Amino acid sequence: MTMRSGFVCFLCAVAAVSLAAQDRSYGRSVVSTPYGIVATTWVQASQAGARILEQGGSAIDAAIAANAVLNVSEPMTNGMGGDLFAIYWDAKSGKLYGLNASGWAPQALTIDHLKAKGTTSMPQTGIDSVTVPGMVDGWTKLHDRWGKLPWRELFQPAIFYADHGVPVPEMIHDYWAPLDTELRANAESRRVFLPNDKVPTTGQLFFDPELANTLRLIADHGEDAFYKGAIAQAILKTSAEQGGTMTADDLAQYSAEWVEPIHTTYRDWTVYELPPNGDGMAALEMLNIMEQFPPDPAGPHSPGELHTRIEAMKLAYADVKNYDGDPRFSKIPVDQLLSKSFAATRAKAIDPAKANCTVAPGALSGSDTTYLTVVDSDGNILSFIQSNYSSFGSGIAVDGMGFVLQNRGGLFSLNPQSPNALAGRKRPLHTIIPGFMQRGDEHIGFGIMGGWNQPLAHAQFVSNFVDYHLNIQAAMEEPRFTVNAKLGCNIVIESRVTQASIDTLTKMGHQLEVRKEYTTAMGRGQVVLHNSATGINYGASDPRADGAAIPELPKFPGAQY
């Protein structure tokens, strides 16, 4: 071999190694830092949260600031008229805390009340779909317990953006555009959210000065402004004008609730969700069923693996829809539904070669949302989710306040025998769920929003990470499937799943609606990971959204701030 040919071979070998190292099936790199990370669906919201961390704020402070900014930039998905749930991991004590800040139905909103109006099914929009918003009380309880910065400081970024405008992100525009007709049904919604009487274009500055003033009231007077003061009066006036039932007591007596997270083990990881009235137990049951089968060596979007996941999802969803509700009104059989023996029994219903199009709940003995997560430099993790339920919730904007009321009451049942039957001061079944998982020194806050998509998206993420050893960014980006409104064997799936897998699944009886490579139908997720042995934090953000995982910057010596 000549020197020249040997050198060429060397270059080829180096190039092959370099290309192999650079080739990967996901688009973004994991963010890593010994400092804090804020991961949200809008870059500027993540930046606002990171700035709060840089000012000495806690993970709670950063999340509240980021969520308030998202109230401005994503008014259809989240806002003060909605609810929130949170899981907080305290790094020093190793203890996990849960907060259920979902609101209850007005006392007079009952099945009999709706029947007297001739209503035969639970309204999905309008004033009778509105429940008391829990978000502001949720913010307050979190800040009272773990906040470091003064309450007022947390709202200044959101007030600035509401006053000075936010350029509408491309995916948020895509949520906004189909809602033109719905927004016109309510004069206040039309005025606020159709500037110049049309949906704002991508990149157009959207201003919400009334929301800026509402945020100032919250910043200056705390939650009393919302539940007893000027904002409460505006909510009650709006409700009365729409023929609603909400009273001053419904607002003033509301309180979010501290709850104990529920959990299961998946392989050698412990995965946590919040208890009912949320549907996080569907994610845990789905994982328990999936655990009865070995991971398919062909990979996470092989037909065998996808078939197992899809069938496990159907079984878990049938159970949660049949048995879930507000535990203050009905006994919810969480322990039975999450037992390994129940999962083993349910798993026997899965035919490895054929899709099941009609799934009944197991026999027992005895929409639109925003998710964000924060890890601070001490390793504390907040997994946080907040929602209006459907896009722009009930469709009813509060007069002069710049936000809409949620339609979470639409999830109640009018069947008196259901554990989720409508009743005054009762909380409906909820679809928004924050997630958390840990093993040894690794602790992960994660969530993937999107209505009934959430439990199955959680289970897919956990399996991608645990079974296939993908990093948190790759596990989030991996092609997913989700539920179809038609139910049965109808499944929505991303086109990045190979055609061979799609063809095989179709032959097994799955009826697939194939969407583009990255569709928001799969939900939009965020993840942070803290390694307590190394002190390094990691963050990832779903490319199905307009956001990013933004790290806190340290204070650089000699820098002028």
Q: Which of 134-148, 354-368, 426-440 has the lowest mean pLDDT?
A: 354-368
Domain positions in the chain: 67-468
Of 298, 313, 263, nearest in space to 460 by CA:
313
Mean pLDDT calculated for residue range 55-60 = 98
Packing angle of the helix pair 303-323, 280-290 (nearest 10 deg): 140
Q: How wide is the angle at C-alpha 367 spanned by C-alphas 362 and 371, nearest 5°?
A: 100
Name residue 515's beta-bridge partners.
494
Active-site entry in 140, 308, 369, 520: 369
Q: What is the pLDDT of residue 27?
A: 86
Cβ–Cβ under 8 Å, residues 234 and 240: no
The torsion of the CA quartet 532, 98, 214, 37, rounded to 10 degrees, works out to: 10
The whole-chain average pLDDT of the chain stands at 93
Q: What is the pLDDT of residue 19?
A: 45
Residue 17 has pLDDT above 80, yes or no: no
Identity of the amino acid at 29: S
Mean pLDDT calculated for residue range 126-130 = 98
The torsion of the CA quartet 153, 97, 427, 133, rounded to 10 degrees, works out to: 0
Residue 144 has pLDDT above 80, yes or no: yes
- For the record, the structure tokens of 429 come out as 């079944």
- For the record, the structure tokens of 428 come out as 């409906």
Highest mean pLDDT among 92-96, 357-361, 543-547: 92-96
Complete DSSP assignment for 318-366:
HHHHHH-S-TTTS---HHHHT-HHHHHHHHTT--TTS--S--PPPP---
pLDDT grade for 6, boundaries at 50, 70 and 90: low
Residue 367 has pLDDT above 70, yes or no: no
pLDDT grade for 320, boundaries at 50, 70 and 90: confident
Identity of the amino acid at 339: S
Helix (H) or strand (E) holding 182: helix 180-184
270-295: pLDDT as tens digits: 999 999 999 999 999 999 999 999 99
More confident residue, 90 or 23: 90
More confident residue, 61 or 453: 61
Mean pLDDT calculated for residue range 126-141 = 98
Q: What is the pLDDT of residue 25?
A: 80
Q: Which of 22-26, 63-67, 233-237, 277-281 has the lowest mean pLDDT?
A: 22-26
Active site residue 369: yes
- Determine what percent of the chain is predicted with pLDDT higher than 90: 87
Cβ–Cβ under 8 Å, residues 203 and 168: yes
Helix (H) or strand (E) holding 236: helix 230-241
Q: Which of 126-130, 470-474, 544-548 has the lowest mean pLDDT?
A: 544-548
Cβ–Cβ under 8 Å, residues 512 and 505: yes
Cβ–Cβ under 8 Å, residues 482 and 471: no
- Dihedral class, residue 379 (left if φ above 0, else alpha if ψ from -120 to 50, else beta): left
- For the record, the structure tokens of 420 come out as 């989720």
Q: Which of 10-19, 58-67, 92-101, 329-338 has the lowest mean pLDDT?
A: 10-19
